[in-house]
């Protein structure tokens, strides 16, 4: 049976979802809202959507399923607007916001007593790119796609969403909205604060200690990569998950004080334990063996400084899709090997490790 799907916000997430929906359901009609013209035009030209509007309310009554793929604040505003419109009986509404409680609460408040089904959604994949021009049908492959059921989520809601989004090739999982916000505050939101704070501290320090900028190497780069994220998205994430994030900040201040005190006291045992515990905990977490927030699958190849060495490795990897390739040629103190290749999933990573190990005598490390 054909359905009409309405995607509001043809940015990176909305346009990539449209492509994923089209992949498995070419017969569905996809309507798109975007306030600015360029993303509307790109989405139409590239066949991501069938019709476009800049008037959000106009398409809403036509839709069987509405997905709001907008900044959190705007998602809440559109939920309020949807509640005042004459929507289809039993319409299914979802969203893609990176925090869930504020959105789910707004839905419960506004849709109570109406013939509306709602489930919060958070596809845990993305990048710093924005707009329909960056859309990628494979963006969500193997990534977690979180649903946060609520009182508006009937038993058929999740099945219908999973069926709609089957072409994303994501891994669906259901958790409570408040728990989602707690977990992501620790492993996503707070790390962004730390990365930006560290970046700012270093930039200021480098004004007086010019070499700081030049000596910053692999460890510093890994710690601060996410400081390049889009400021607007992160401002709204922090403001929609305030209490939980403040609690993480306070907890961390305590940890800094503790290690600071141990250094003052010259407590060698405590300092050693601090590093050792973290090392063991990170190894146990196996974060490189699965997808998740911003995770990638990295391979480090210790290559000699010889002509064509990189071409030789790329030739071995012909046919495998690479996410990124980086030549670490600066300070190598804490960098594994010199060639860093990132893959989309664990299978590609393992295949690459095998083929490089079998065909060369270079040391290959998976961190």
User: Which residues between 169 and 208 bind ligand NAD (CB under 6 A)?
Assistant: none
**Count of residues making up the chain:** 367
Binding of ligand NAD by 150 (CB under 6 A): no
Binding of ligand NAD by 34 (CB under 6 A): yes
Site for ligand NAD (CB under 6 A): how many residues? 24
What character string, x for contact with ligand NAD (CB under 6 A) and - otherwise, covers 7-26?
--xxxxxx------------
Binding of ligand NAD by 131 (CB under 6 A): yes
- Choosing from 72, 301, 313, 352, the residue that interacts with ligand NAD (CB under 6 A) is 72
What character string, x for contact with ligand NAD (CB under 6 A) and - otherwise, covers 79-98?
-----------------xxx
Classified as helix, coil or strand, 27 is coil
- Choosing from 30, 59, 69, 118, the residue that interacts with ligand NAD (CB under 6 A) is 69
Nearer residue to ligand NAD within complex by CB, 78 or 300 = 78
Binding of ligand NAD by 60 (CB under 6 A): no
Nearer residue to ligand NAD within complex by CB, 126 or 337 = 126
| β pairing state of 91-95 and 339-343 | unpaired
Q: With contact defined as beta carbons under 8 Å apart, do 34 and 10 qualify?
A: yes
H-assigned helices in 84-189: 101-111, 155-164, 177-184
Residues 6+ apart with CB under 8 A from 74: 9, 68
CA atoms within 13 A on the CB side of 33: 22
Q: How far is the CB of 324 from ligand NAD (least distance, A)?
A: 16
DSSP E strand stretches across the chain: 4-8, 29-33, 51-53, 65-68, 91-95, 116-123, 144-148, 171-174, 297-302, 322-327, 339-343, 363-366
Nearest Cα to Cα of residue 102 among 243, 219, 220, 227 = 243
Q: Is the dihedral of CA 340, 326, 196, 131 positive or negative?
A: negative
User: Which residues between 107 and 126 bind ligand NAD (CB under 6 A)?
Assistant: 123, 126
Q: How far is the CB of 358 from ligand NAD (least distance, A)?
A: 36
Q: How far is the CB of 199 from ligand NAD (least distance, A)?
A: 19
- Footprint of ligand NAD (CB under 6 A): 9-14, 34-36, 39, 69-72, 74, 96-98, 123, 126-127, 130-131, 233
């Amino acid at each position: 049976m054909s359905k009409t799907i309405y995607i509001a916000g043809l940015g990176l997430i909305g346009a990539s979802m449209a492509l994923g929906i089209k992949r498995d359901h070419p017969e569905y009609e996809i309507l798109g809202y975007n306030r600015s013209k360029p993303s509307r035009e790109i989405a139409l030209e590239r066949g991501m959507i069938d019709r476009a509007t800049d008037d959000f309310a106009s398409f809403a009554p036509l839709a069987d399923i509405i997905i709001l793929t907008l900044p959190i604040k705007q998602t809440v505003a559109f939920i309020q607007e949807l509640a005042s419109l004459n929507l289809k009986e039993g319409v299914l509404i979802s969203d893609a916001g990176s925090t869930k409680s504020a959105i789910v609460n707004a839905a419960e408040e506004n849709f109570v007593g109406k013939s509306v089904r709602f489930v919060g959604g958070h596809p845990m994949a993305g990048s710093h790119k924005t707009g329909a021009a960056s859309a990628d049908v494979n963006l969500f492959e193997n990534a977690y796609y979180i649903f946060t059921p609520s009182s508006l989520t009937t038993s058929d809601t999740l099945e219908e969403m999973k069926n709609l989004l089957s072409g994303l090739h994501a891994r669906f999982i259901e958790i409570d909205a408040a728990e989602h916000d707690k977990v992501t505050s620790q492993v996503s939101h707070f790390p962004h604060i730390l990365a930006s704070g560290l970046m700012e501290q270093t930039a200021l320090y480098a004004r007086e200690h010019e070499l700081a900028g030049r000596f910053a190497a692999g460890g510093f780069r890994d710690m601060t990569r996410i400081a390049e994220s889009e400021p607007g998205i992160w401002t709204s994430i922090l403001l929609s998950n305030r209490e939980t994030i403040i609690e993480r900040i306070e907890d961390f201040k305590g940890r800094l004080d503790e290690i600071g005190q141990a250094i003052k006291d010259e407590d060698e045992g405590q300092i050693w334990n601090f590093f050792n515990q973290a090392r063991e905990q990170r190894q146990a977490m196996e974060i490189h063996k699965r997808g998740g927030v911003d995770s990638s699958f990295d391979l480090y190849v210790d290559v000699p400084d010889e002509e064509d060495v990189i071409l030789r490795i790329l030739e071995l990897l012909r046919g495998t899709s690479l996410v990124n390739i980086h030549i670490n040629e600066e300070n190598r103190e804490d960098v594994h090997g010199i060639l860093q290749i990132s893959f989309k999933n664990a299978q590609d990573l393992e295949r690459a490790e095998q083929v490089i190990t079998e065909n060369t005598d270079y040391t290959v490390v998976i961190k």
